[in-house]
Each structure stands twice: as structure tokens, then as C-alpha cells.
């Protein structure tokens, strides 16, 4: 018997029948609708005996094997705002079939300063039963690559890297090998 989850066998319940004298079976509801599964792994149901012969409480095991659904950005590209790179914020979230608040941990974290170039961010969502999902995306922090990016004030899009349009144009002219503030060996 299952709880009617999205995937067959995603959550399982032990089918239990309890007999009372004079052999009247007490079984859980067939649709399990009164069972609120929890990540803790157990649910309870009660049944009454015939002629007030007694009540029974049965604890059934709930096995959660469904990992959380993790949502991450498809990729992020930003302009560098300093020679250290750029501060980048992003949102990663998760939902789960049983745990209302699965934990999401990403590395590097949102709000970190990402260096110039491409950095892979890896996020993992974990539910209360220990099921995990991992996804990754890239953050690209870039410097200007064309003279056109430096003109008409475009050089200001790169934060404090360039003091003027001329600095930006010179940087592009060297193929990006000499950012302002760095000396060549």
C-alpha cells in the first residue's frame, strides 16, 4: 500500500491487519489519506475493537527515498567591478515531497566576491530524511573585450578598475594583459 505519492513506491507503508476476538479485522484506511507522513519516519492510526473489546494503535514505517527538487540559476555573467572581481548574489531553492524546508547549501555562497574568469558554483539540497540533490552553474566575471565596451561611458560599468575611457581602451588594446594598477613583469 502506498500513500499515493507522485511516483509508485516513493513512500511505502507496511500493510497491517490486527485481529480481535471474535476475529474482526481492523485495517488502515485504503487510501492512507489520514496518514500525514513526516520526515521523522513514522505515522500512527487507531482502530476500535468490536463491543468495546479494546483499541489498537499501530505505528507504520514511512520510507522517504525521494530527493528534493533543486532550482539553481542557469548561469550568471557580470562585469568585474574591481581587479578582485565582482560581488555576485543569486538564489537557489528547493522543494520536497515531505520536508517543507529542505536545506540548501551552495559553495561559493551568494554574495561572495567572484574572481575574474569562470567559477563553478555547486549547490546541494538535503531533506529531513537525508536525501540529496546536487546541481551546478557557472558565474562568469568579465573584463571588457572590445573598444566599443569602453566608449560612451561603458568603461564605468567596470567599477573602479578604470579611471577613464583611455584606461579602458588601453587595456583592450593590449589584449587584456595589462589591467590598470598592475605592472607587467
Number of domains, the chain: 2
In this predicted model, what pLDDT tens digit does every residue of 119-142 receive, in sequence order?
999 999 999 999 999 999 999 999
Same domain? For 4 and 95 the reply is no
Q: How far from 87 is each of 111, 118, 181, CA to CA, in Å? A: 6, 14, 20
**Within a domain: 179:** no
Structural domain of residue 117, as residue ranges? 69-170
Cβ neighbours of residue 52 under 8 Å, at least 6 residues apart? none
pTM: 0.66
In this predicted model, what pLDDT tens digit does every residue of 68-126 receive, in sequence order?
999 999 999 999 999 899 999 999 999 999 999 999 999 999 999 999 999 999 999 99
Same domain? For 52 and 104 the reply is no
* Residue pointed to by grid coordinates 569562470: 118
Same domain? For 16 and 41 the reply is yes
**Within a domain: 180:** no
Amino acid at each position: 500500500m502506498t500513500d499515493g505519492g507522485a511516483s509508485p513506491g516513493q513512500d511505502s507503508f507496511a500493510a497491517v491487519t490486527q485481529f480481535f476476538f471474535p476475529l474482526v479485522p481492523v485495517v488502515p484506511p485504503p487510501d492512507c489519506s489520514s496518514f500525514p507522513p513526516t520526515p521523522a519516519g513514522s505515522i500512527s492510526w487507531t482502530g476500535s475493537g468490536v463491543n468495546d473489546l479494546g483499541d489498537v494503535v499501530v505505528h507504520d514505517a514511512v520510507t522517504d527515498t525521494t530527493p528534493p527538487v533543486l532550482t539553481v540559476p542557469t548561469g550568471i555573467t557580470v562585469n568585474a567591478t574591481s581587479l578582485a572581481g565582482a560581488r555576485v548574489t543569486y538564489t537557489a531553492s528547493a522543494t520536497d515531497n515531505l520536508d517543507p524546508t529542505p536545506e540548501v547549501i551552495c559553495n561559493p555562497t551568494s554574495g561572495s566576491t567572484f574572481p575574474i574568469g569562470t567559477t563553478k558554483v555547486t549547490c546541494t539540497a538535503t531533506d529531513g530524511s537525508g536525501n540529496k540533490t546536487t546541481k551546478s552553474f557557472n558565474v562568469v566575471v568579465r573584463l571588457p573585450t572590445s573598444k566599443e565596451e569602453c566608449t560612451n561611458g561603458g568603461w564605468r560599468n567596470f567599477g573602479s578598475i578604470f579611471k577613464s575611457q583611455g584606461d579602458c581602451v588601453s587595456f583592450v588594446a593590449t589584449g587584456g594583459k595589462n589591467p590598470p594598477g598592475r605592472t607587467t613583469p
